């Protein structure tokens, strides 16, 4: 059983984490899931920080986002690798998630943040559920994310298996299918 003091400290840690996540743009539903605080508290904190209430409605969710383009895959892979390393620490899961996201942003060194904190949370969830897994590229030896249930044929490295089209956009060398292959 936790003492009253421990309970207060626990709550304080949760609220500090929630505050930092909301400042990063996290939506209340995600803040609740990460920090285990009530809906009421998450919404009130959101209003206090942003000065307005959160947008109603469901969060957009695309299970194939991380593999849709080399650019998405590269960003998801940076986050994936950081998250995997930090997951070995004794910090709380919420703290590991926030730190991973902040380090991902730092890695971009001022470049465009392709994956916001809400998207990063989904990627983290997909890793936990083993929907996404790490694959080692045989050419550059980097570890990138791929959908676990896809055959190897559809697991592409975002650095090696790409071409640049006439508009300077990176595309997969081979067309990728987004249908879940069982």
Regarding 160 and contact with Zn ion (CB under 5 A), the answer is yes
Least separation in angstroms between residue 138's CB and Zn ion is 8
How would you class 129 by CB atoms within 10 Å of its CB: exposed for 0-12, middle for 13-18, buried for 19 or more?
Answer: exposed
Q: Which residue has the tokens 């009421």?
A: 40
Regarding 159 and contact with Zn ion (CB under 5 A), the answer is yes
21 vs 14: CA distance, rounded Å: 10
Fill in the per-residue mask, 98 to 137: x = in contact with Zn ion (CB under 5 A), - = not in contact.
---------------------------------------x
> Could you give phi then psi for residue 26, rounded to 5 degrees?
-70, 140
Kindly tell me which of 45 and 73 has the beta carbon lying closer to Zn ion. 73
Kindly tell me which of 34 and 176 has the beta carbon lying closer to Zn ion. 176
* Contact of 27 with 54, CB cutoff 8 Å: yes
Structure tokens at 59: 């969060």
Regarding 157 and contact with Zn ion (CB under 5 A), the answer is yes
Residues in contact with Zn ion by CB under 5 A are: 137, 139-140, 157, 159-160
């Amino acid at each position: 059983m936790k003492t009253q003091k421990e309970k207060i400290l626990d709550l304080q840690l949760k609220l500090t984490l929630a505050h930092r996540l909301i400042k990063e743009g996290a939506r209340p539903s995600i803040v609740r899931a990460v920090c285990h605080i009530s809906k009421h508290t998450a919404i009130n904190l959101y209003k206090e920080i942003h000065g307005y209430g959160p947008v109603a409605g469901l969060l957009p969710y695309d299970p194939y986002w991380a593999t849709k383009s080399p650019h998405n895959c590269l960003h998801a892979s940076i986050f994936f690798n950081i998250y995997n390393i930090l997951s070995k620490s004794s910090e709380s899961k919420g703290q590991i998630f926030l730190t991973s996201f902040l380090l991902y942003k730092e890695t971009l060194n001022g470049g465009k943040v392709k994956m916001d904190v809400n998207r990063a949370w989904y990627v983290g969830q997909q890793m936990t559920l083993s929907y996404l897994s790490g694959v080692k590229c045989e050419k550059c030896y980097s570890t990138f994310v791929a959908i676990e249930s896809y055959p190897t044929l559809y697991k592409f490295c975002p650095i090696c298996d790409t071409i640049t089209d006439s508009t300077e956009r990176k595309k997969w060398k081979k067309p990728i299918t987004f249908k879940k292959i069982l």
